[in-house]
Amino acid sequence: MELYVVDAFTEHIYGGNQAGVVLLDRTAEFPDAALMQQIAAELKHSETAFVKRIDSHLFSIRYFTPEGEVDLCGHATISAFTALREEKALPSGKYTAKTAAGEIPVTIEPDCIWMGMAPGKLIKVLSDEEASAFYRAYGLCIDDKPSTLQPCIVSTGLPDILLPVDSIDKLTRSVQSKEEVIRLSQKHQVVGVHMYYPALSAQVTARCRNFAPLYGIDEEAATGTSNGALTYYLHSQGRISEQDENTFIQGESMGKPSIIKSRIGRDKIICVGGSAVISIRGWLKD
C-alpha cells in the first residue's frame, strides 16, 4: 500500500492540515477496519483516507481518525485527490468520491481541488442554556456571542456546533475544557465545535478554530466539512451570496494558517476547495 502525508489547504509544505492518504492497488479490497484504525492511530494525523479506485472517474474512500471511523473528511478528500493527481497523473476534470456520507463530486483544477458537500441542513438552534454550556467550555460566556448570529448545529455531511464570537481576541484566547467538550459533543451527537469570528471583508469571510476531542482531535488546522456548514449557515442568514468565493482562515493559533475556499451555487450546492502539497511519500509493509 502506498502511503502519503499531504498538507491540505496550503501552498507550502508543513502548513495547513496534514492528512494521511493510503492508495490501494486497484485489485485490492479495503483492509480490515481494525487494521485501518491501527494505521490511522500510528500516523497520528487528524484523519487518514484509504482510497480505492473503482473506475476512471469513481473512487471509494474511507476515513479514520486516531479514535475511529468517520463518514467524511474535507481536508483528507482534498489530500487524497492531490495524491492521485500528483502520483497517478489524474488529469483535471470531474470525479466522484463514494463515501459513507454519500457520493461527493470532486473537481480537479490546475491550482485548486473542489469537493461538493452533502446538502446543508440546520439541525437545531441552541437554546441560551445549551449555548451557554458550550461558551463556558471555552472560558467564555453567552454575552460573547454576536447579536445577529446564533449557536447552532449544522451539517453538510457531518454535524457540528457552529459557535460564533464577537471579536478576534475572544477567538484567539479561548481555552478548551477537553472533557466538557467531549461530554457536550456526546450529548448533542456532534463531531465537534467550529468556533468562528465573522470577519466579513473582501479578503476574509471568517476566521475559525475547530475542536473535535471526541474523535481525538484537540484542535484542527483546517476543516473542510465544518467550513462547508458555516457557508450554508452564513448564506441562510444573508451574510454571503451565491457565486461568491468565500475565504476562511483557520489554524493560526496552531502556527499552521490554512486557507479554505467555498462557494454556493444557484442550485444551493456548496463546494469547498483549496490547494495541497505532498510532504512525505512511502510504503506500508504487508
pLDDT digit string (tens) for 42-69?
Answer: 999 989 999 999 999 999 999 998 888 9
Q: Are residues 29 and 159 in the same domain?
A: no
**CATH number of the domain encompassing residue 231:** 3.10.310.10
Name the least confident of 27-31, 76-80, 264-268: 264-268
Name the least confident of 11-25, 141-155, 174-188: 11-25
- With 90 as the cut, is the pLDDT of residue 200 above it? no
pTM of the complete model:
0.86
Residue 14 pLDDT class (50, 70, 90 cuts): confident
* Cα–Cα–Cα angle for 73, 177, 165, rounded to 5 degrees: 70
User: How many domains in the chain?
Assistant: 2
pLDDT, one tens digit per residue, over 150-194 is: 999 999 988 999 999 999 999 999 999 999 999 999 999 999 999
**Per-residue pLDDT at 101:** 86
Q: Are residues 68 and 140 in the same domain?
A: no
Long-range contacts from 37-42, C-beta under 8 angstroms, 24+ separation: 37/64, 37/68, 37/69, 39/64, 39/284, 40/64, 40/65, 40/66, 41/66
Q: Are residues 11 and 149 in the same domain?
A: no
Range(s) of the domain holding residue 37: 2-116+274-283
Q: Are residues 129 and 198 in the same domain?
A: yes
Q: Are residues 144 and 232 in the same domain?
A: yes
**Mean pLDDT throughout 1-24?**
93
Q: Are residues 148 and 230 in the same domain?
A: yes
Share of the chain above pLDDT 70, in %: 100
* Strand partners of residue 125: 152
* Strand partners of residue 208: 196, 250
**Per-residue pLDDT at 88:** 92
Q: Are residues 133 and 41 in the same domain?
A: no
Q: Are residues 263 and 278 in the same domain?
A: no
Q: Are residues 262 and 143 in the same domain?
A: yes
**Per-residue pLDDT at 199:** 81
Q: Are residues 130 and 51 in the same domain?
A: no
Q: Are residues 212 and 129 in the same domain?
A: yes
**Per-residue pLDDT at 59:** 97
Q: Are residues 128 and 245 in the same domain?
A: yes
